[in-house]
Amino acid sequence: MKKKIKILFATPEASPFIATGGLGEVAGSLPKALMKKYSDEMDVRIILPLYEGISSRDGFEYIGNTYVQLAWRQQYCGIYKKVENNLIYYFIDNEYYFKRSECYGHFDDGERFAFFSKAVLTILPIIDFIPHIIHANDWQTALIPVYLATKYFTNKDYWDIKSIITVHNMEYQGNFDLSIVEDVFDLSNKEKDLIEYKGAANLLKAAFEVSHIISTVSKSYSEEILNDYFAHGLASIIQKNSSKLKGILNGIDTLVYNPETDDALFKQYNYDSLHNKTYNKTNLQCLTGLSENADIPIIAVISRLVSHKGMDLIIEGMEEILKEKVQFIVLGRGDRKYELYFKSLQEAYRDKVAVRIDFNNDLARKIYGGSDFFLMPSISEPCGISQMIASRYGSVPIVHEVGGLKDSIKDSSFGSGNGFTFNEKSSKALVNTIRRGLKVYENKDDWSKLVKEVMRKDFSWENSSEKYRDMYLNLIN
Ligand code: GLC
């Protein structure tokens, strides 16, 4: 039998255990897809912190414990394991660091994730899994490749381990005060250069320098981040390391997001039973207090309400948008100014605009199912997942051509396509694009043809998991 490639996928979050955003979705679905398709070639395992938020611990098995040395600290490290769908998950337990109500946003996040990163490397002999590749994700795990390169390179069990850092969003780099480099990150003065960037400690920068591969979540974004506007100050480091740079588009778990089986829907449907999608639409209108009328197109926004998601473009264009015969639904939380804006918009247009300031998975699914258009005008979007989920539910995406939005949605005006797109970052372009969509909506035959086309587009991990496999194989050969 051929020897399997061993991969340890290190992540600060993974659904269904814990997910605060897109990374959680990806970590929850990519390793699963790899093990479904390639388990005869590879053994992929996942490791993440055991947060308080992981409430259901059915089937968790206690493996043992050890102590992790972080500079002068000796910290307890418990190890749990859970097997699900042929996949092994490891959880790092330390109540002092992880028994807190939120995953991130604490004064000592640097220390918490330095501990996690060191713990991942410390426990390998205990779990008896020395991987060929450690695949780290985002700044929270960025110290793993750094410790491999600085602390473990003389250890013969570890020196062949290759590292990949995947960045899901360049906005979050893990920036900390230089004063904690030695005392918390446990890096000597000599190693300081590696982590120092523009007067601060920058974990992502250090990982970019030492990892064997830098990957990101779409081809377009991997090109965009050569430019500082998208790289948030790290462009020169990416340019310097561009020979290591890869971009692979995310997929979604098409079993989890499937209108044929989704219990959250008012009625399940597929592209041969679109009348049941209409049933979802009128029920959604009823639920959200919009006037009930199957002929009025519903435009949905499900998003964090923050500037890089393009909220200002929406606001600037809103007056024009609402001149049309449309309804508008917004679900999300975010910056207070946007929350207030949308709430007052709802006050002013009760039967036309419905706003829910919330994270609500059940309602999100009802909105994907009941809406006609899904608006996602992000200013920057590494990949984006919602436009793929919306497509699966037949809500036609309207997107700004950046990053993963550009790579996943093609404009349908010129023959084949699966949505409506605009290139110019302006509310005028956004409004014009919505109007182009509404024109198609007016013609029932054209519209149902487009909805079917949109729903048929394959956003599963089928293609992308193969690209990850090739990346892993190339790296170790
Ligand atoms: C981040 C990015 C998003 C991407 C997700 C998963 O949340 O902002 O674009 O889809 O990570 O990679």
Taking CA atoms, 229 is separated from 115, 170, 171, 338, 430, in Å, by 32, 10, 10, 23, 21
Measured in angstroms, how far is the CA atom of residue 404 from the centroid of ligand 1?
Answer: 9
**pTM of the predicted model as reported, rounded to 2 decimal places:** 0.96
Measured in angstroms, how far is the CA atom of residue 104 from the centroid of ligand 1?
Answer: 16
Q: Which of 165, 169, 359, 468 to mutate to test the pocket of ligand 1 (most atoms within 8 A of CB)?
A: 169
Nearest-angstrom CA–CA distance, 211 and 56: 34
User: What contacts 246, CB < 8 A, 6 or more positions away?
Assistant: 213, 214, 215, 216, 222, 471
310 conformational bin, left if phi > 0, alpha if psi -120 to 50, beta if neither: left
Taking CA atoms, 362 is separated from 28, 258, 282, in Å, by 18, 13, 17
Query: Which atom belonging to ligand 1 lies closest to the Cα atom of 404?
Result: 9
Instruction: Please state the length of the chain.
Output: 477
| Sequence spans of domains, the chain | 5-251+462-476, 274-456
| Residue 148: closest CA among 166, 139, 138, 135 | 135
Tens digit of pLDDT per residue, the chain (477 long)?
A: 678 999 999 999 999 999 999 999 999 999 999 999 999 999 999 999 999 999 889 999 999 999 999 999 999 999 999 999 889 999 999 999 999 999 999 999 999 999 999 999 999 999 999 999 999 999 999 999 999 999 998 999 999 999 999 999 999 999 999 999 999 999 998 899 999 999 999 999 999 999 999 999 999 999 999 999 999 999 999 999 999 999 999 999 999 999 999 999 999 999 999 999 999 999 999 999 999 999 999 999 999 999 999 999 999 999 999 999 999 999 999 999 999 999 999 999 999 999 999 999 999 999 999 999 999 999 999 999 999 999 999 999 999 999 999 999 999 987 789 999 999 999 999 999 999 999 999 999 999 999 999 999 999 999 999 999 999 999 998
pLDDT value at position 416? Answer: 86
Q: Do domains 5-251+462-476 and 274-456 have the same CATH topology?
A: yes
Query: Which atom belonging to ligand 1 lies closest to the Cα atom of 250?
Result: 12
pLDDT in tens, 152-161: 989 999 999 9
| Residue 325: closest CA among 367, 297, 348 | 297
pLDDT in tens, 13-59: 999 999 999 999 999 999 999 999 999 999 999 999 999 999 889 99
For residue 312, give the 3-state DSSP assignment: helix
Query: Which atom belonging to ligand 1 lies closest to the Cα atom of 403?
Result: 9
Q: Which CATH class is domain 274-456?
A: alpha beta
Nearest-angstrom CA–CA distance, 462 and 205: 31
Phi and psi for 470 in degrees, rounded to 5?
Answer: -65, -40
- CATH level 2 (architecture), domain 5-251+462-476: 3-Layer(aba) Sandwich (3.40)
Greatest alpha-carbon span in the chain: 70
Pocket of ligand 1 (CB under 6 A): 21-23, 26, 168-169, 217, 250, 381-385, 404
User: Helix (H) and strand (E) counts for the chain?
Assistant: 19, 18
DSSP state of 249: -
